[in-house]
């Protein structure tokens, strides 16, 4: 993805220096900064505090963190297992994280170089898979389609291209001029901050809407399709995604709006049968009660959004049952939930 005429991936790794670099997503969209992380603990902390976030980007980062551990410890099995556990304890819901740590850990049994190669190929496959998701999803988009999306499943949530936004970019490149309703995505605001930032820089026409405005636009026939990403898709086609996705899916079904979930195969968890078995991350309620942003002098400020003294609850994800999903947009094509069995 290009920012100020320079191509960036969301996260990358220099095996010579053992440094992982990433775009700081906590600072976006108010500042564009790169952070450098010198060991697996710093990289894992960046996953935990959401300097990097989004299923694919978390997966690639976790793979790189595992490679950093191999580079630091060689074949010290105890240290490597401690590192793996540490990385895996950062965030529980996106399966890409565990996909990457397991693959790099296994590859590394044949040597440090193999661990590094595997981490790199996970990142490369993520980018290529998302590019293909764009090509496949573009087939579903008509000229001037009005698309609603939730959270950020763009290039910032992956290594490049994105999942839900990749078809939008492909449609834009094909001259179809898509329009995107961007759910703000409380409490962290991934829609208002990150999806809007991406669409603005790609000159895609869009408007940020309050999370609770989606039903209004769908009821008026003003939304042609919904495309979201996913953090984990179970064998029966249930989807864990950012909190609020379930509500959008129910509303879409009520008003006959097709509901697509775009995800690479690294997000499919065929070992888990159904969505009720997924661990849902519960995050600090401070994210709900406070908001951070620049004041009129461009100084970052944190303000309280809620009545003093009240506490909050902050589940980060919900599970949308397969019956609400029209189809999955994947690198292998468009797949209906009922067709998933043949891939398990
Ligand atoms: O908590 P986050 O920002 O890591 O949330 C994950 C997401 O970005 C969304 O759930 C997204 O729609 C799917 S991840 C590509």
| Closest atom of ligand 1 relative to the 150 alpha carbon | 12
Is 233 close to ligand 1, i.e. is its CB under 6 Å away? no
* Mean pLDDT estimate for the chain: 97
pLDDT in tens, 165-184: 999 999 999 999 999 999 99
Q: Per-residue pLDDT for 1 more than 90? A: no
CA neighbours closer than 13 Å in the CB half-sphere of residue 233: 27
**Calpha distance 258→225 (Å, rounded):** 5
pLDDT at 2: 81
pLDDT at 298: 87
| Closest atom of ligand 1 relative to the 316 alpha carbon | 1
Q: Per-residue pLDDT for 154 more than 90? A: yes
pLDDT at 344: 82
3-state helix, strand, coil in the chain (%, to 5): 40, 20, 40
**Calpha distance 305→314 (Å, rounded):** 14
pLDDT category at 92 given cuts 50, 70, 90 is: very high
* Number of Cβ within a 10 Å radius of residue 340: 18
Interval between CA 94 and ligand 1 midpoint (Å): 8
Tokens of 258: 């097709």
pLDDT at 79: 95
pLDDT in tens, 45-90: 999 999 999 999 999 999 999 999 999 999 888 999 999 999 999 9
| Residue predicted with more confidence, 101 or 343 | 101
User: Would strands 6-7 and 239-242 be described as parallel, antiparallel, or unpaired?
Assistant: unpaired
pLDDT in tens, 320-341: 999 999 999 999 999 999 999 8
pLDDT at 77: 84
Interval between CA 241 and ligand 1 midpoint (Å): 6
pTM, entire model: 0.96
Is 190 close to ligand 1, i.e. is its CB under 6 Å away? yes
Is 55 close to ligand 1, i.e. is its CB under 6 Å away? yes
Is 151 close to ligand 1, i.e. is its CB under 6 Å away? yes
| Closest atom of ligand 1 relative to the 158 alpha carbon | 15
Average pLDDT over residues 144-169: 98
pLDDT at 161: 96
What are the structural domains, with CATH classification, of the chain?
2-130 (1.20.120.420), 134-342 (3.40.50.10470)
pLDDT in tens, 290-319: 999 999 998 999 999 999 999 999 999 999
Is 184 close to ligand 1, i.e. is its CB under 6 Å away? no
**Calpha distance 164→141 (Å, rounded):** 12
pLDDT at 244: 98
* Number of Cβ within a 10 Å radius of residue 70: 29
Q: Per-residue pLDDT for 3 more than 90? A: no
Please indicate whether residue 117 is annotated as part of the active site: no
Average pLDDT over residues 121-149: 98
Please choose from 52, 162, 231, 259 the residue to mutate so as to test ligand 1's pocket, defined by most ligand atoms within 8 A of CB: 231
Average pLDDT over residues 123-134: 98
pLDDT in tens, 195-219: 999 999 999 999 999 999 999 999 9
Protein residue with its CA nearest to atom 8 in ligand 1: 54
User: Would strands 232-234 and 268-269 be described as parallel, antiparallel, or unpaired?
Assistant: parallel
| Closest atom of ligand 1 relative to the 162 alpha carbon | 15
Q: Per-residue pLDDT for 125 more than 90? A: yes
Catalytic residue of the set 126, 160, 183, 231: 231
Please choose from 157, 168, 185, 246 the residue to mutate so as to test ligand 1's pocket, defined by most ligand atoms within 8 A of CB: 157
Interval between CA 111 and ligand 1 midpoint (Å): 33
């Amino acid at each position: 993805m290009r920012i100020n005429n320079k191509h960036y991936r969301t996260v990358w790794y220099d095996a010579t220096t053992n440094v992982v670099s990433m775009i700081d997503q906590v600072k976006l969209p108010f500042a564009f900064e790169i952070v450098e992380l010198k060991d697996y603990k710093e990289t894992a902390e960046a996953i935990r505090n959401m300097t990097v976030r989004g299923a694919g980007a978390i997966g690639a980062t976790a793979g790189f963190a595992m490679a950093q551990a191999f580079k630091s410890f060689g074949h010290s099995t105890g240290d490597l297992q401690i590192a793996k556990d540490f990385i895996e304890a950062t965030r529980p819901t996106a399966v890409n994280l565990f996909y990457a740590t397991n693959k790099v850990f296994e590859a590394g049994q044949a040597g440090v170089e193999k661990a590094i190669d595997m981490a790199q190929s996970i990142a490369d496959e993520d980018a290529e898979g998302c590019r293909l998701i764009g090509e496949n999803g573009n087939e579903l988009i008509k000229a001037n389609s009005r698309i609603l999306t939730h959270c950020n499943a763009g290039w910032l949530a992956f290594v490049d291209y994105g999942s839900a936004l990749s078809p939008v970019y492909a449609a834009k490149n094909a001259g179809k001029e898509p329009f995107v309703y961007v759910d703000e995505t409380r409490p962290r605001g991934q829609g208002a901050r990150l999806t809007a930032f991406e669409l603005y820089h790609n000159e895609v026409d869009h408007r940020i809407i309050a999370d609770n405005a989606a039903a209004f636009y769908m009821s008026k026939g003003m939304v042609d399709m919904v495309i979201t990403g996913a953090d984990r898709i179970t064998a029966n086609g249930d989807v864990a995604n950012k909190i609020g996705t379930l509500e959008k899916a129910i509303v879409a079904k009520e008003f006959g709006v097709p509901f697509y979930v775009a995800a690479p195969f690294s997000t499919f968890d065929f070992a888990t049968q159904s969505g009720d078995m997924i661990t849902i991350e519960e995050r600090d309620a401070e994210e709900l009660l406070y908001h951070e942003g620049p004041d009129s002098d461009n100084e970052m400020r944190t303000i309280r959004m809620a009545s003093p003294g009240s506490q909050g609850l902050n589940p980060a994800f919900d599970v949308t049952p397969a019956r609400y999903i029209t189809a999955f947009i994947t690198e292998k094509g468009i797949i209906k939930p009922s067709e998933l069995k043949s891939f398990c």
